[in-house]
């Protein structure tokens, strides 16, 4: 089981890593071409809003509800896939038509600080790319099916496919062969290619009659979907609101907040979200069939995610100058913008362990088919962020908004620790085990020493980050050795 999980994690990690690196390259092209201008703000909305809408309306809920259903009913899984794809596809075609019609109002909602001219330009571009939403929804249903079958390779390449398509469009615009409208075309093209790559992997057969004679989308399915949708979307609304609040702070502020959150989302997706994604199908299956395995997955998963995210946080905060420079310090990005991004990620990276563990605990709740509790908890986190902003707890500059984000994730983390139980035990007992705490302290101290030393060397950005990555790997090995069962396994293999 451990070998299978590690192999699945490696496959998914490699695919997502390629996709995220392409995403970094995409953001670098936007930053070097448009800097922190009004055009950068508009392009950021065009490139982020469709995925944000999908994440808020569908993505987390789709996997949370469909994967347990696929796992518990393998004989009718393809039939359920067909019905879910047809239903959600039609629904979100209508949603996209409405959003296309109301694209100006959508810009007013997501970027209220834009002036009228800027809102109009943004609404035109957003109207084009909004049709990515139904394509991504359909891809989400297919991805859930592939994950339930422990097929991660093709699904993990989805981000790479769409980013390569967008980068192609950006290059054409950069060299004078088109306008932002051309970028919109390549956004939609990437969505189509991503969907069909996964359909080919499934071997999807068109059989409307055979797949519709019995309805598998029950009332209970939609209730749990609604609860999972609300809990997942509320968690994702925090960075959306952060960008919306920052739109009041002048030209380029939305772009700066977006550039910063991208640098935080990258390690979150590569090292944490991917681990949660590979564990979730097994959590769902073992909760039904093997409670002992389920408990072990929760315990080791929570420790692994907290340990990995803490080590990444330490390394990237200490190497923030190299980290930001390697992505954004090109072209039309000015020094003031670079310094602002460095300051923002120094704050935002504090939330990395909080977000990572919270996302994993949300998956644990969903594996239990409990969607009510994470909905309540994530609602409280979002509400606290709004209260912090309205009451100027930290002020109203862009730095204060990021502090509000960190505090809201901290509140979510604490509430999940309090409410989540496995076999009647609070999960904080797992995270407070003395062996784990000692291992985390020692590994963090080693990483701190090596990364601090590397940050003072007169070396290039790539070398500095590679040294930190190597130190992080060694630190993770040190942490792993504090696990008694792993030590016994290594001893039996070696001796």
Q: From 64, 74, 83, select the one nearest 284 (Cα to Cα).
A: 64
494 pLDDT band, cuts 50/70/90, is: very low
Span 203-213, pLDDT tens digits: 755 454 455 55
Mean of pLDDT values over 401-430: 83
In angstroms, the CA 404 to CA 384 distance is 8
Q: Is the pLDDT of residue 7 over 70?
A: no
**What pLDDT does 378 receive?**
81
Q: Which of 205-209, 298-302, 432-436 has the lowest mean pLDDT?
A: 205-209
Q: Is the pLDDT of residue 437 over 80?
A: yes
Name beta bridge partners: 421: 426
What ranges make up the beta strands (E) of 292-341?
none
Asked if 111 and 119 touch (Cβ cutoff 8 Å), the reply is yes
pLDDT given for residue 75 in this prediction: 73
- C-alpha distances in Å from residue 54, one per residue of 134, 200, 245, 369: 8, 22, 21, 22
Q: Cα–chain-centroid distance for residue 432?
A: 26
Q: How confident is the model at residue 344 (pLDDT cuts 50, 70, 90)?
A: very high
Contact 81, 145 (CB under 8 A): yes
> Is 440 within a domain?
no
Q: Is residue 305 part of a domain?
A: yes
pLDDT in tens, 246-283: 888 877 788 888 888 888 887 887 767 666 666 766 77
- Of the ranges 46-55, 75-84, 409-418, 474-483, which one carries the lowest mean pLDDT score? 46-55
Q: Are 426 and 407 in contact (CB under 8 A)?
A: no
CA atoms within 13 A on the CB side of 386: 11
CA distance 488 to 261: 40
Cβ atoms of 283 and 364 closer than 8 Å: yes
Q: Which helix (H) or strand (E) holds 425?
A: strand 425-426
Mean pLDDT over all residues of the chain? Answer: 79
- CA–CA separation, 214 vs 191, rounded Å? 30
Q: Which residue has the higher pLDDT, 16 or 167?
A: 167
User: Which two tokens mark 327?
Assistant: 């992505």
Percent of the chain's residues with pLDDT above 70: 79
Whole-angstrom CA distances from 228 to 162, 287, 379 are: 26, 18, 12
Rounded-to-integer distance, Cα 16 and Cα 211, Å = 32
User: Do residues 454 and 468 lie in contact, with contact meaning Cβ atoms separated by under 8 Å?
Assistant: yes
**Sequence-ordered list of residues with C-beta below 8 angstroms from that of 358, at least 6 positions apart, any chain:** 235, 409, 412, 413, 416
Task: Identify the top-confidence range among 98-107, 291-300, 405-414.
Answer: 405-414
The sign of the torsion formed by the CA atoms of 23, 25, 29, 31 equals: positive
Q: How is 220-231 classified by DSSP, letter by letter? A: HHHHHHHHHHHH
d(CA 464, CA 127): 42
d(CA 409, CA 476): 24
10 Å CB burial of residue 68 (0-12, 13-18, 19+) is buried
- The residue among 117 and 475 whose pLDDT is bigger is 475
489 inside domain: no
What band does 88 get if pLDDT is binned at 50, 70 and 90? confident
Q: What average pLDDT does the segment 165-175 reach?
A: 82
**Is the separation of the CB atoms in 481 and 439 below 8 Å?**
yes
pLDDT in tens, 226-251: 666 665 566 677 887 888 888 888 77
**3-class secondary-structure state, position 203:** coil
Number of domains in the chain: 1
Q: What is the pLDDT of residues 358-410, one digit of tens each?
A: 888 888 887 777 777 887 888 888 889 989 988 888 887 899 999 999 999 99
- For the chain, first and last CA: distance in Å? 22
Calpha distance 40→257 (Å, rounded):
12
Q: Which segment of 35-39, 70-74, 168-172, 364-368 scores lowest on mean pLDDT?
A: 70-74
Please give the pLDDT value at position 361. 86
Tell me which residue range forms the domain holding 329: 2-432
Cα separation, 240 vs 262, in Å, equals 12
Q: Is 481 helix (H, G, I), strand (E, B) or coil?
A: coil
Cα 492 from chain centre: 38
Note the maximum CA span of the chain. 72
Q: Is the pTM of this model over 0.85?
A: no
Does some domain include residue 441?
no
How does pLDDT run across 35-63, given as a tens digit for each residue? 777 777 888 778 777 776 666 666 556 66
Q: Is residue 147 part of a domain?
A: yes
- pLDDT for 209 equals 44
Say if 306 falls within a structural domain: yes
pLDDT at 29 over 70: yes
Distance (Å, whole) CA 12 – CA 204: 22
Is there a domain that residue 30 lies in? yes
Q: Is the confidence at residue 495, as pLDDT, over 50? A: no
Radius of gyration of the chain measured on its C-alpha atoms: 22
Q: What are the tokens at 77?
A: 């899984």
Mean pLDDT in residue range 402-430: 83
pLDDT at 6: 52
Domain for residue 279, yes or no? yes
């Amino acid at each position: 089981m451990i070998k299978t999980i590690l192999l699945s994690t490696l496959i998914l990690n490699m695919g997502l890593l390629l996709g995220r690196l392409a995403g970094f390259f995409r953001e670098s092209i936007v930053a070097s071409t448009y800097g922190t201008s009004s055009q950068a703000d508009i392009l950021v909305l065009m490139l982020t809003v469709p995925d944000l809408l999908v994440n808020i309306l569908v993505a987390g809920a789709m996997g949370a509800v469909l994967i347990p259903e696929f796992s518990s009913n393998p004989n009718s899984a393809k039939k359920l896939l067909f019905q879910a794809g047809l239903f959600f596809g039609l629904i979100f075609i209508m949603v996209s038509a409405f959003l296309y019609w109301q694209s100006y109002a959508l810009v007013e909602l997501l970027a209220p600080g834009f002036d009228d001219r800027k809102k109009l330009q943004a609404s035109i571009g957003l109207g084009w790319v909004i049709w990515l939403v139904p394509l991504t929804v359909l891809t989400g249903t297919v991805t859930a099916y592939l994950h339930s079958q422990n097929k991660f390779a093709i699904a993990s390449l989805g981000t790479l496919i769409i980013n390569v398509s967008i980068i192609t469009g950006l290059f054409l615009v950069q060299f004078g062969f088109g306008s932002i409208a051309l970028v919109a075309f390549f956004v939609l093209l990437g969505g189509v290619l991503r969907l069909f790559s996964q359909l080919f992997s499934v071997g999807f057969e068109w059989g409307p009659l055979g797949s519709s004679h019995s309805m598998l989308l029950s009332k209970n399915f939609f209730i749990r979907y609604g609860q999972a949708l609300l809990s997942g979307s509320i968690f994702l609304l925090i960075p959306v609101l952060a960008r919306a609040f920052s739109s009041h702070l002048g030209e380029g502020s939305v772009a700066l907040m977006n550039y910063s959150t991208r640098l935080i989302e990258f390690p979150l997706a590569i090292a944490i979200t991917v681990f949660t994604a590979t564990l979730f199908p097994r959590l769902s299956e073992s909760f039904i069939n093997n409670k002992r395995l389920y408990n072990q997955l929760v315990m080791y998963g929570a420790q692994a995610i907290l340990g990995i995210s803490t080590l990444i946080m330490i390394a990237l905060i200490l190497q923030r100058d190299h980290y930001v420079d390697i992505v954004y310090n090109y072209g039309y990005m000015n020094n003031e913008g670079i310094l602002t991004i460095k300051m923002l990620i120094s704050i935002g990276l504090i939330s990395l362990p909080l977000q990572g563990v919270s996302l994993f605990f949300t998956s644990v709740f969903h594996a239990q088919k409990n969607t009510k509790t994470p909905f309540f908890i994530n609602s409280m986190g979002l509400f606290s962020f709004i209260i912090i902003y309205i009451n100027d707890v930290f002020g109203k500059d862009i730095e204060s908004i990021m502090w509000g984000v960190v505090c809201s994730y901290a509140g979510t983390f604490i509430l999940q620790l309090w409410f989540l139980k496995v076999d009647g035990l609070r999960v904080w007992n797992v995270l407070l085990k003395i062996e784990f705490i000692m291992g985390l302290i020692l590994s963090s101290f080693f990483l701190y020493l090596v990364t601090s030393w590397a940050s003072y060397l007169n070396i290039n950005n790539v070398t500095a980050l590679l040294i930190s990555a190597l130190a992080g790997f060694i630190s993770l090995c040190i942490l792993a050795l504090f696990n008694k069962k792993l030590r016994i396994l290594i001893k039996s293999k070696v001796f």
